[in-house]
Amino acid sequence: MNIIMENKDYKELVEDMIKNKIKVDLLLTDPPYGVSRNHQLGFSNMGRAGMDYGEWDYGFDQREWIKVCSPLVREGGSIIIFNDWKNMTDIVEELTMNGFEIKDLLRWEKSNPMPRNVKSRYVMDIEVAVWAVKGKKRWVFNKPEEIPYLRPIFNSGLVLGKKRIHPTQKPTAILEEIIKIHTNEGDLVFDPFFGSGSTAQACKSLGRRFIGSEIDEKYFKKAVKQIW
């Protein structure tokens, strides 16, 4: 099964893919949330005095990358984007402008959320992802036959310890669940910001093809080592 991982800016990879007329069945990604700050911002920083994920997270444009990557998704293909809920308005608007129809909001419910400011705030125990479909063609949705309906909830703990190689790493288990629902075996999954490589690992385990980019050489090397 083809697993292609590139250490480059996503724009370079997208340009190459367009030249080679590559279309993807699912774009599944966890782009920078743009929440890093070097000073207190109260509500938008969850009460912390500062939060620094890295230079890649500062001032990230939530709209530009969607416009750049949208042509790669085939008609009837899906796009699933994890992000801070406060960015969802921009993301939904940009998806709609680029020919996507918004379907649902997925929720990752964390069994071991990080407790912060427990005497004055709720503990944030979820992250969300928007699911949208390109164009009007029928999309893939593999609901298990043994259940009457699927709720958009995915349960897993945070990745901790030596397995955690990226500050915003998603558990492979929930990515596998999502990929099984939204793709078929042999389909091509694209992640322009693969970070720890969890999406690539999930594709490898499930018999899906994968192509993706990670601009940070440190994370790229760790991701490749972890998968191979």
Pick the range with the lowest mean pLDDT from 85-89, 104-108, 131-135, 156-160: 156-160
Provide the pLDDT for residue 46.
43
124: pLDDT strictly greater than 90: no
Provide the pLDDT for residue 206.
97
Note whether 173 and 190 are within 8 A (CB).
Answer: no
Structure tokens at 30: 């966890």
Note whether 31 and 81 are within 8 A (CB).
Answer: yes
Task: Identify the H or E element spanning 77.
Answer: strand 73-83
168: pLDDT strictly greater than 80: yes
Note whether 70 and 100 are within 8 A (CB).
Answer: yes
Of the candidates 29, 136, 163, the one whose C-alpha atom is nearest the C-alpha of residue 83 is 29
Provide the pLDDT for residue 57.
53
Per-residue pLDDT, averaged over 87-109, amounts to 97
Per-residue pLDDT, averaged over 76-98, amounts to 97
163: pLDDT strictly greater than 70: yes
Provide the pLDDT for residue 227.
84
10: pLDDT strictly greater than 90: yes
Of the candidates 14, 56, 57, 13, the one whose C-alpha atom is nearest the C-alpha of residue 36 is 57
Go through 190-226 and write b for each residue having 16 or more CB atoms within 10 A of its CB, e for each that does not. Answer: bbbbbbbbbbbbbbbebebbbbbbbbbeebbebbeee
User: pLDDT category, 159, cuts 50, 70, 90?
Assistant: confident
Compute the C-alpha angle 208/173/188, nearest 5°.
15
**Average pLDDT of the chain, as a whole number:** 89
The CA-based dihedral angle spanning residues 163, 165, 168, 169, taken in that order and rounded to the nearest 10 degrees: -40
- pLDDT of 29-69, one tens digit each? 999 987 545 544 443 444 444 555 555 456 699 999 999 99
149: pLDDT strictly greater than 80: yes
User: pLDDT category, 162, cuts 50, 70, 90?
Assistant: confident
Interatomic CA distance for residues 120 and 90, integer angstroms:
29
Highest mean pLDDT: which of 38-52, 85-99, 152-166? Answer: 85-99
- pLDDT of 182-210, one tens digit each? 999 999 999 999 999 999 999 999 999 99
User: pLDDT category, 79, cuts 50, 70, 90?
Assistant: very high
Provide the pLDDT for residue 115.
85
Structure tokens at 120: 């004055």
User: pLDDT category, 114, cuts 50, 70, 90?
Assistant: confident
Note whether 213 and 12 are within 8 A (CB).
Answer: yes
- 79 strand-pairing partners: 27, 132
CA atoms within 13 A on the CB side of 23: 9
Interatomic CA distance for residues 5 and 115, integer angstroms:
34
Helix, strand, or coil here: 105? strand
